[in-house]
Each structure stands twice: as C-alpha cells, then as structure tokens.
Amino acid sequence: MYKTFFKLRRNPFELTPDPSFLFPTRRHNEALAALYYGVRRHKGFVVLTGEVGTGKTLLVRCLLQLLQGSNVAYAYLFNSRLSPVEFLQYVTGDFGLPAAGKNKSELLLQLGSFLVGRHQQKLTTVLVADEAHHLSAEVLEEIRLLTNLETPQGKLLQILLVGQPELDEKLDSTELRQLKQRIALRSQLLPLDLKETLGYILRRLQLSGADSRASVIFPNETIAVVHRVSGGIPRLINTICENALIGAYARQLQSVPPEIINEVANDFRLNVRAKGRAEETSGKDGKDGKDGNELWHAVKTLVELHNQLQNVRPSQEQAPLQAFSGVRKHEPIV
C-alpha cells in the first residue's frame, strides 16, 4: 500500500524471519559463527538463547541456508510440546524414516542405524529444537541419550537447542546437570542498543529500495523514539515501523515524525508492562493480609463479648428465677 508512495521495492519490516534481512550485530555474528562451527566440527550440543523477538529463528534459518548443498541432513523441531515417544516419532519422520506404529525401541534402533550409516558416508546430521524452553526434562534427557552415539572423533548427531532465557534456567536444574556438562558452545542474543537500532532500520529500508532516502523516511529523532518504545527488540521494531509507515502514508508525509511512533506504541499498548509472578503474588498477599486483619478483628470482638458474659455475677443471673420460686408446678405466671 505504501511502497509506491515511499518508492520501495518490497516491504522493509515484514515479521517473517527472512535471512536476506539479517542485520549482523556483533552478538548475532558470534552466535551464527558458534552454530556453524558446532555443526561443522561435530561438537554435539550447541545452545542459543535470547528474549522473545531477538532473532533466534532468523539465525537458525541463516544457518540452514549456509548448510544447503553441503550434505547436511536436518530435522527441525518447531513444536516442542511433545512426549518422549512423540518426540522420537517426529524426529524419525522428519529425517524421512518410517515412524508410524513403531514403539520406542524400534524408533531408537532405526535412528541409530540411520546416524551410523550417514557417519560412515562422512555426512553430517543435525537436530534443531526451536522453542526448546518448552521441552520437558524427560524429552531433554532423551536428546542427551541420543548423543551417546559417538566416535573418538565426534558426535554422530549435532543438536542445536534454541529458546528463551527459561531454557538456561531449565538447563541449570540438578536433574539436567549431565546434559549441561555436554554443552560445547553457548550464545545469547540481546536487544539492540540505540546505534544498532539505527543501523537496523536504515539497512532494512536500503535493502527495500530506499537507498539514500532511508534517513529521510526515518530521521534520527524518530528512530530514537522507536528504540525507546521497543526496548531494542527487533520484532517490535518491525511492528512499530510497519505501522508507522502506514500512518505516514495515510497523512501523506514523506518523513515519519516521532508523534506517529508514540501513537503506534499506544495502539499496541507497548507502554503497558505485564505483571510478573512476584508482583501478582505480592498483590494477592496484600489482599489476603487485609482480609485476614478484618477477620482477626471480628474474632477478637467476639472473644471480648464472650468474656463479658462469663463475668456476669451468678446472683444477677439467678435473680429473675428467685422471684418465681414460690410458683407451683403448672400454675400460670401472671
């Protein structure tokens, strides 16, 4: 819609992870190099973590693009909410092996034969587990056991675990300490700083045909606001800039002003911070504490009333009865 207006050949801020748009920051270069080296040198386990939207899947796609045509077979696990047997069935099927109706022992034997056969042909086999922070401890243990297939020169299966920071926490657990010790390479992606955000936006515009007009479409002061409201997260930067271009086009503005960025941020509620678990617990505790105080005050009042009743003298309680002591049985009291 806005491409013709801004003289662009393609949409510069698509959300799909396109390797041609990779912006090579130092962290991204190091992470991609670690992934490539780990696969090529048969290091076994390689772990890549990063916050949501920092470009993990994009790096994996860049790696797979680099490995194309190099006799590398890979299974790509994109849904990690599987049981151990479902996981083995999925991996076996993704490698092109028959998996339907097979039990765990049969799947393991088939995978083992497949890996040994590829190794004898000097071929590399890779398992990529995206969203690995969702993998259960049981599945992660199955993955670790797969790496027991090895030679003195290296592992028969190269495993890339890619996930959010929760993956690091899971790997730090006691039950996964054996897996943690087998990790050969680890990398972490961080949000972009202001300088990187500037380069990221201008590069995407230039690759889309803006050339020298990139800095006119998004001036420095506008990019500074983009960085502030996005926190340097590439996925959020794309969302903000895409909607900002639509807004500028609607107003027939050749340059995106900071005001439009703030409007987009408000529309997407980027200024609303989700409460963490600790804050929610604190809030509940505060409410429960208030209710508890009120309940304790009520109990205390009842106890005091009870004590007052118990302290009434017996003569005061019996006086009304003595007045009727002379009344005969069944005689009405007047």
Dist CA 313 CA 191 (whole Å) = 78
Sorted by where each begins, the domain ranges of the chain are: 26-189, 192-267
pLDDT score of 305? 66
Q: Which CATH class is domain 26-189?
A: alpha beta
pLDDT score of 248? 97
CATH architecture classification, 192-267: Orthogonal Bundle (1.10)
Dist CA 130 CA 113 (whole Å) = 25
* 160 HSE (CA, 13 A, CB side): 30
pLDDT score of 72? 94
pLDDT score of 46? 97
- The secondary structure of 280-311 as a DSSP string is HHHHHHHHHHHHHHHHHHHHHHHHHHHHHHHT
In contact, 158 and 43? CB cutoff 8 Å: yes
pLDDT tens across the length of the chain (334 residues): 799 999 999 999 999 999 999 999 999 999 999 999 999 999 999 999 999 999 999 999 999 999 988 889 999 999 989 999 999 999 999 999 999 999 999 999 999 999 999 999 999 999 999 999 999 999 999 999 998 988 887 899 999 999 999 999 999 999 999 999 999 999 999 999 999 999 999 999 999 999 999 999 999 999 999 999 999 999 999 999 999 999 999 999 999 999 999 999 999 999 886 655 445 444 555 555 555 566 666 666 666 666 666 665 544 444 444 444 454 444 444 4
If you count them, how many residues does the chain have?
334
- Are the folds of 26-189 and 192-267 the same? no
pLDDT score of 150? 87
